[in-house]
Structure 1
Amino acid sequence: MKHKILDRLHEEEDFLSGEKLSEEFGLSRTAIWKHMKSLKEDGYQIEAVTRKGYRLVSSPDIVNYDEIKEILHTQVIGKKVVYFRSLESTNKTAKEIAAISREGTIVVAEQQTKGRGRLGREWISPNRKGLYFSVILKPDTDPTKVAKLTLLGAAAVNKGFLDMGIESEIKWPNDIIINGKKVAGILTEMNCELGTINHIILGIGINVNQSKEEIPYELWDRATSLLIEKGTVVDRKELFAAVLNRLDQFYIDFENEKNVDNILEICRDRSAVIGKDIIVIQGSVSRKGHAVGINHEGQLQVRFDTGLETVYSGEVSIRREDEYI
């Protein structure tokens, strides 16, 4: 009901009386007041004047469904958005609700207190400075194909950035970088049994409007934000919708065609490592090689001194030999 009341406030430029709202929605004046109070707590600036009613003055910088629905053009992804001001981890919450959630449900938070990336690394997630969200997917595919969804997520972020006029590269398999520094990452987690996928959680974290001072000093050589790279504040709502629109487009293609040829082409074309000397790190073992390409299964082809090998994402990290990323 709160969302319906917000829609009415968006529609009206003038004041809406509490009496009129009560009649429209069949609620008491007290109930209307409580919904207004809740909207104010969400950050909406609402002017209340006796004998005039309520008027929406401004909307907050938040990334709930109400704020993106007009620019969200999806069929599967984002038809339901579960919004939180703060969470330990969007992936953690998404896993908890996945079994009872429809496919495409998104868990999004303004901040994460225990955000994490691949290989258990911490993901710093300050309040209203980035985009931190997880998508619940239930694809009809073999579990061995799930690794491709990480590349699908990376391609969606890369193209979503481009829709906003932002150039970036993909560091196989799950990082988005700008000028040699990480600006976004994808974490894919799967729940399956007996060769059947129950659900997949595709977590995406993007550093949007952090200043350099808001990034830990020890990460200055390897992490950045869109604000730092562009020099201007980026509209988080517009970026959120742009990435979701691309993700929906690519995911529908993946489900319908059972291939990701277009995704692989994006990952090859925008690769930060193909054609470069790299270091492949697996556990405590580091090996120098030359990244040759990405095969049709989405795996990295690397030429080592011992010959050409296929590198699987799993527990492997990739570094460019000439820089951290």
Structure 2
Amino acid sequence: MDPDLLRTARVMRFLGVPAEVHDSLGSTNDEAFRRAQEGAPEGLVVLAGHQTSGKGRLGRTWFDEPGQSLMFSILLKPPIPLHSYPLLSLALASSIAWAAADIASEITIKWPNDVLHRGKKLSGVLAESRALRPGEPPVLVLGAGVNVNYHPRDFPREFRESATSLCIASGEGHVEMGWLFSGILMHFVRELDAAYGGGPGALLERLRPQLPEPGTRVRIALADRAVEGELLELTETGALRVRDRASGLVETLTAGVME
């Protein structure tokens, strides 16, 4: 097993986090759902050194080379309304950004759940929910991939202009994944504490400062069009309310890519 992955597993055991570590998996999200079906507890973390069928948002695939990325999924059973689950996806992206900011500067978040360094993608989050049994609320699995120890030459040509890694962003030759992951989890526990203790509104107040201020001009690419206009607010469902510049109408956007 990859030494970085072994150290990450030791950190998880030290922190008392229920974790399963695999050299390779098809998808950490799929494995987390499988374990949930078997009765795994909330908070289970599934890590993999490599994914053969890693998933991204909008049906995309996630590129990784063995041992170069931090790839994990967290199983949650949130006591909040289903329509607010997307806030937890943004909360995980925020936690990754805070942990990355301890290693490199100029780390930002792009709605709905990407982490960037100087405009290049460093990390992404995929949220999936499923009802496993009749009458029970859906469980939520948050999967994340963080580019950690890639050097510029390691990326395929088609990703070199759009992707980066913590190794590149920090100028370090190697970034320790175990300590990075412990930082992510510690930040995420704070976000969960806000959501579970105070509800979606409490979490929303923590997340709003991570996004562009109201009044900022934004452009959101949708599947079939783009909306360009004034950002009004982030809602308790994780959606953005934007006043379209052309029509003057206010649109509530639940998906898309902020450009």
| TM norm structure 2 | 0.88
Counterpart in 1 of 2:211? 271
Deviation track 1:29-71 (CA, whole Å, cap 9, x = no partner) reads xxxxxxxxxxxxx46xxxxxxxxxxxxxxxx22254324444x
* Counterparts of residues 1-325 of structure 1 (less than 5 Å): 42=1, 60-63=3-6, 64-70=8-14, 72=15, 79-99=17-37, 100-164=39-103, 166-192=105-131, 196-232=136-172, 233-261=174-202, 263-271=203-211, 276-304=216-244, 305-313=246-254, 316-320=255-259
> Alpha carbon RMSD of aligned pairs, Å?
2.3
1:289/1:254 CA distance change after superposition, 3 Å: same
Is the 8 Å Cα contact of residues 169 and 272 (structure 1) preserved in structure 2? Answer: no
Question: Deviation at 1:245?
Answer: 1.2
Kindly provide the CA deviation profile for residues 84-110 of structure 1, in whole angstroms up to 9, marking residues without a partner as x. 001111011111111210000011001
* Cα drift, residue 133 of structure 1: 0.2
User: Percent identity over the alignment?
Assistant: 30
Deviation at 1:302, TM superposition (A): 1.4
Q: Using the alignment, how far apart are the partners of 2:200 and 2:66 within structure 1? A: 37
The gaps in structure 2 that reach 5 residues or longer are: none
- AA partner of residue 179 (structure 1): R
Higher relative contact order, chain-length normalized (CA < 8 Å, sep 6+)? 2
Quote how far apart the aligned CAs of 1:141 are: 2.4
Change (3 A) 1:308 1:243: farther
154 and 195 in structure 1: CA distance in 2 versus 1, 3 angstrom threshold: farther
Structure 1 residues 88 and 206 mapped into 2: Cα distance closer, same or farther (>3 Å)?
Answer: same
Of 210-219 and 293-302, more deviation after overlay is shown by 293-302
Residue in structure 2 matched with residue 27 of structure 1 by the alignment: none
For the 8 Å contact 1:90–1:109, the answer to whether it is kept is yes
For the 8 Å contact 1:175–1:182, the answer to whether it is kept is yes
Distance 1:165 1:126, change over 3 A: same
Q: Which moved more, 1:108-117 or 1:297-306?
A: 297-306
Indicate conservation of the 8 Å contact 1:103/1:137, yes or no: yes
Query: Structure 1 residues 223, 290: CA separation in 2 closer, same or farther (over 3 Å shift)?
Result: farther
d(CA) in 1 for partners of 2:31 and 2:122? 23
8 Å contact kept, 2:103–2:166: no
- Indicate the SS of the match to 2:4: coil
Deviates most, 125-134 or 276-285: 276-285
Structure of larger gyration radius: 1
**Aligned-partner residue type, residue 98 of structure 1:** A
Q: Taking structure 1 as reference, are residues 119 and 125 closer, same or farther at Cα in structure 2, changes over 3 Å only?
A: same
- Ranges in structure 1 where 5+ consecutive residues have no aligned partner: 1-41, 44-59, 73-77, 321-325
How far apart are residue 194 of structure 1 and its match?
7.2
CA-CA distance at 1:260 after TM superposition: 4.6
Deviation, 1:256, is 1.7
The one-letter code sitting in structure 1 at the alignment partner of 2:193 is I
Secondary structure of the corresponding residue to residue 54 of structure 2: coil
